[in-house]
Amino acid sequence: METLSIILLCVFIPVTVLLSICLLCIHSYWKRKWKSITKENDIEAKGDIKIGNQSKENVKHTLRFQGRLEDAQRGPSHQDPTFVADEKLGGRKKKQKKKSKATKRSIDVENQDGAKQIRVEESKLFEFDPPIGNKNLGNTCFFNSSLQALYFTKFFEDALSLLKVSAPNFQNLKLTKSVLELLEKKNVNHTQELRSVLNAVRNINNQFGRGTQEDSYELLNTLLGGILDELQNGDRTCKPIDVDSGVNGISLKNLFTGIFITIYVYDSCNDVEVDFEEFTTLSIPIADNIDQNFKKLPHRGLQTISSEDPRFDIEKGLAVLTQIEDYEESDLPCRVCNIEGTGKAYRRMLVFTPPPVLVIHIDRFKMNDFNRLTKNAQRLKYPRIFNMAKFCSVANTELSTNSLNYELYAVVVHSGALGGGHYYAYVNTTRMHDVEKWQEHLKRSPLDLEKLKSNVEEFLRKRHEFQDDSGQTEVCKVKDSWFYVSDESVCSASVDEVISHKDAYILFYEVH
């Protein structure tokens, strides 16, 4: 009996120990598994953050705009450098490669309930996928080249995507809808979508899409103007879309639209009056000589934020566009008191609010003495980064020199003569992105122009001292990636090849 007890103990103890070890292993395995499942659920839950009464899909797009919020599940976008996404958008899958980012600092943002804090990057690397060419539909290089620049415009596709999920009459906006469908499919076979956009543009201006070579700048203005008109007017059966307030504070209109201020001042009565006008592109002349006396201002109201001399050719063109004009007061009586004085009347048009995307057209086509259209093929110098403070009015006290640096990201080129020319584009797929600056521009509130007019006139009458907020233009610190795109032909390009191209026609700058 004693021997049997000893044998049982010898068997029981090892078995018990072995079972304990097995149970510990199983417990450890399921503990790790549970943590993994919980983490995945947490990540998915972050994509379901609700802001007010917005839908789940709408919130996803909103979060993407707010500086690509970290750790939030976002919809797919070829513009997102920090997240790997494989999700359907518009019935199509699009895979993203994770790309590097550089962060200066971050700020906290709360949702409306104040329960969730998310970090927003202030400045980071912004990368697009390499370009895909557009099929030539019959002398449509003028069309393809402008589209390439829009493909690589920050937030252009995102703004249209927001409209798709928020505008009740989006399906009736033929041009806007066709452009978004093209943007969503531009990385695959998109010939049908390309043709749809061209047909929609032709409905606005029938000179396009008839198989003849047309002007790329006119096409661009027709395309952007058509989209903004659709958003503003809607149709007869649908309520117009409030493009000024935008969707969730993001306005497609604010992306391209700036504001001119025209200032009138008078010697005899010292009155000041201003007018405002919106613009989406700037057309500048080729200026061989500029008035060297542009700094001799008769009144503070005509002053710009910076009085630095124009250095590059495009700055000289902008100087001509914003130069002071003087008249005899007898020819231009005071618009305030209607007095025909004996002194001078001065007029100057300046930029009051520049847009985040600045499109500059070089006016190369002019009528000669024989009333024939000719091309000026003069090579112009234009910088990678330049400052708009030389052309912005001091009347906008919210602007400063260091907030007005613009970086080149696309160039449309017209090579050859009028009769047999060709359009192509250069695009930059890599640049830094200052989230805070872009949010200030994109979330700009609509202006009460009548109230603004009164405030500005009072400000300019009271202050007559001259100031100069001149500053140095920033240098580009990012290794960029330029591409040459000519219809379906795409290849890498160097920045030296792009800068000051002898046939540059349209320059696309963005807030740096």
156 closest CA partner among 92, 250, 249: 250
Q: Are residues 118 and 140 in the same domain?
A: no
Residue 34 placed within a domain: no
* C-alpha to C-alpha distance for 228 and 221, rounded to whole angstroms: 10
Residue 27 placed within a domain: no
Q: Write out the two tokens for 453.
A: 């007019």
In this prediction, residue 475 carries a pLDDT of 62
pLDDT at 363 over 80: yes
Number of domains into which the chain is organized:
3
Q: Are residues 306 and 408 in the same domain?
A: yes
What are 130-150's pLDDT values in tens digits? 999 999 999 999 999 999 999
Q: Range with the lowest mean pLDDT among 58-72, 206-220, 424-438? A: 58-72
* C-alpha to C-alpha distance for 501 and 380, rounded to whole angstroms: 7
Percent of the chain with pLDDT over 70: 68
Q: Are residues 265 and 347 in the same domain?
A: yes
Percent of the chain with pLDDT over 90: 40
In this prediction, residue 420 carries a pLDDT of 74
Distance of CA 287 to the CA centre of its chain: 28
Q: Are residues 313 and 384 in the same domain?
A: yes
What are 225-276's pLDDT values in tens digits? 999 999 887 643 344 444 444 444 457 888 999 999 999 999 888 889 999 9
| Amino acid present at 228 | L
| Residue range 483-495: mean pLDDT, rounded | 96
Q: Write out the two tokens for 194.
A: 């390309």
Q: What is the mean pLDDT of the chain?
A: 76
Q: Which range marks the domain in which residue 177 is found?
A: 132-252
Which region holds residue 91: left if phi is over 0, alpha if psi is between -120 and 50, else beta?
left
At residue 306, the 3 state secondary structure works out as coil
Residue 234 placed within a domain: yes
Q: Are residues 455 and 405 in the same domain?
A: yes
Q: Are residues 299 and 324 in the same domain?
A: yes
* C-alpha to C-alpha distance for 437 and 404, rounded to whole angstroms: 10
In this prediction, residue 451 carries a pLDDT of 82
Q: Are residues 397 and 277 in the same domain?
A: yes
Higher pLDDT, 332 or 42: 332
Q: Are residues 367 and 428 in the same domain?
A: yes
Of 252, 272, 300, at which residue does a domain stop? Answer: 252
Residue 495 placed within a domain: yes
Q: What share of the chain is helix, strand, coil (3-state, %, to 5)?
A: 35, 25, 45
Q: Are residues 348 and 245 in the same domain?
A: no
Q: Where are the beta strands (DSSP E) in 416-455?
A: 422-428, 430-434
pLDDT at 408 over 70: yes
What confidence category does residue 50 fall into, taking pLDDT thresholds of 50, 70 and 90? very low
In this prediction, residue 73 carries a pLDDT of 32
What confidence category does residue 80 fall into, taking pLDDT thresholds of 50, 70 and 90? very low
From the number of C-beta atoms within 10 Å of its C-beta (0-12, 13-18, 19+), residue 307 rates as: middle
Q: Range with the lowest mean pLDDT among 80-94, 283-297, 411-425, 496-510? A: 80-94
Residue 31 placed within a domain: no
438 closest CA partner among 353, 356, 351, 355: 356
Q: Range with the lowest mean pLDDT among 95-104, 148-157, 453-462? A: 95-104
Residue 42 placed within a domain: no
Q: Are residues 98 and 141 in the same domain?
A: no
511 closest CA partner among 411, 446, 435, 444: 435
Of 217, 252, 287, at which residue does a domain stop? Answer: 252
Residue 15 placed within a domain: no
| Residue range 395-414: mean pLDDT, rounded | 92
**Does the CA dihedral 364-367-372-376 come out positive or negative?**
negative
Q: Are residues 479 and 340 in the same domain?
A: yes
pLDDT at 18 over 80: no
Residue 414 placed within a domain: yes
Q: Where are the beta strands (DSSP E) in 198-257?
A: none
Of 237, 252, 267, at which residue does a domain stop? Answer: 252
CATH number at residue 167: 3.90.70.10
What confidence category does residue 34 fall into, taking pLDDT thresholds of 50, 70 and 90? low
| Residue range 422-442: mean pLDDT, rounded | 86
pLDDT at 19 over 80: no
198 closest CA partner among 208, 211, 189: 208
Q: Are residues 334 and 405 in the same domain?
A: yes
What are 279-330's pLDDT values in tens digits? 999 999 998 777 665 557 888 889 999 988 898 999 999 999 999 999 998 8
* C-alpha to C-alpha distance for 493 and 510, rounded to whole angstroms: 20
In this prediction, residue 102 carries a pLDDT of 38
The answer to whether 388 and 358 are in contact (CB under 8 A) is: yes
In this prediction, residue 71 carries a pLDDT of 34
pLDDT at 23 over 80: no
What confidence category does residue 4 fall into, taking pLDDT thresholds of 50, 70 and 90? low
| Residue range 159-168: mean pLDDT, rounded | 83
